[in-house]
Amino acid sequence: MSLQSLALIENWPVPTAATAVVRADGTVSGTHGPVGHRFPLASVTKPLAAYAVLVAYEEGAIELDEPAGPPGATVRHLLAHTSGLAFDEHRVMSAPGERRLYSNTGFEVLGDHVAKATDIPFAEYARQAVLEPLGMTSTSLDGSPAKDGVSTVADLARFVAEVQAPRLLDARTVAEAMTVQYPGTKGVLPGYGHQNPNDWGLGFEIRNAKSPHWTGSSSSPRTFGHFGQAGTFLWIDPAAEAACVTLTDRAFGPWAIEAWPVFTDAVLKELRTA
């Protein structure tokens, strides 16, 4: 089966776009566009980096609740954007656990923390721990683990298949990653304004009742994933037993705010009726 709704990306005002839908059993339900084209991921880098951090946790190199980042903060705080670190600078804005402050700096601190604990540069650790085992040969996390990843739809389809049916991690660890950390925490969702609560798991944003949002109106509250300022997103909807990866080469903006929810709703409708 090839989902007809995926062709909606042809109507988007972007030079290049590619997409894929992957079912919970790993079956690719459909693709559209150049799935082998390498796109900058921007913040879609974060779920990949988080998965590598969780591998380091399961290997015993780090603990989720060990100190990391500013005083009083832990690995868990950094993964959940509650360390108190500012968006793009090493400045503490609040006490750990108090506010959901979306922070690129926090993920860069995480990368340094794992590199120190494993004595392996983070990009190389991620390659060995996640990318190589999943056959993601066109993906790299060189530079900032918050925003400098490069990948393809084909590679990220392998990643979302892994998250839905984990082999690299214990299923309980992945369940924790998609569980709200520090429930009730307020914060700003970049591009969408203040959200109360602004729910987040371990490296994955959790939809719940957020409005406005970049997923669809029919996306289940359990949907989790990430979007990037490079015009990229991936979501996993456990209720639909499916995931979607979409990469473009146009920066996020009003076009995406308008197009993405319509696209997601069309995909979910087709999946339900297939």
Query: Virtual CA dihedral for 51, 255, 192, 231, nearest 10 degrees?
Result: 20
CA distance 61 to 125: 12
Q: Which of 83, 104, 112 is nearest to 147 (CA)?
A: 104
d(CA 166, CA 160): 9
Q: Tell me how far apart the alpha carbons of residues 25 and 48 are, in angstroms, rounded to a whole number.
A: 20
Q: What is the pLDDT of residues 9-45, one digit of tens each?
A: 999 999 999 999 999 999 999 999 999 999 999 999 9
Calculate helix-pair angle for 104-118, 45-58, nearest 10 degrees: 30
Q: Give the model's confidence band at 58: pLDDT under 50 very low, under 70 low, under 90 confident, else very high.
A: very high
Mean pLDDT across 112-139: 98
Three-state DSSP at 219 gives coil
Is residue 168 exposed (0-12), middle (13-18) or buried (19+ Cβ within 10 Å)? Answer: middle
Tens-digit pLDDT profile for residues 172-207: 999 999 999 999 999 999 999 999 999 999 999 999
Percentages helix, strand, coil for the chain (3-state, rounded to 5) are 35, 20, 50
**pLDDT, tens digit, 9 for 90 and up, residues 155-168:** 999 999 999 999 99
User: For the chain, what is the mean pLDDT?
Assistant: 97
Instruction: Encode pLDDT of 204-241 as tens digits.
Output: 999 999 999 999 999 999 999 999 999 999 999 999 99
Band (pLDDT 50/70/90 cuts) for residue 147 is very high
Residue 246 has pLDDT above 60, yes or no: yes
CA angle 149, 41, 89 (to 5 degrees): 70
pLDDT at position 163, please? 98
Domains in the chain and their CATH numbers?
Answer: 4-273 (3.40.710.10)
Averaged pLDDT for residues 103-132: 98
pLDDT at 1 over 80: no
Percent of the chain scoring above 90 in pLDDT:
99
The span from the CA of 54 to the CA of 61, in Å, is: 10
Q: What is the pLDDT of residue 274?
A: 79
Pseudo-torsion of CA 265, 51, 171, 242, nearest 10°? 20
CA distance 163 to 24: 9
pLDDT of 77 > 60? The answer is yes
Whole-structure pTM value: 0.97
Instruction: Report the residue count for the chain.
Output: 274
Say whether pLDDT at 103 is over 90. yes
How many beta carbons lie within 10 A of that of residue 157, not counting itself? 23
Tokens of 235: 């979501």
Q: What are phi and psi of 19, to 5 degrees?
A: -150, 160
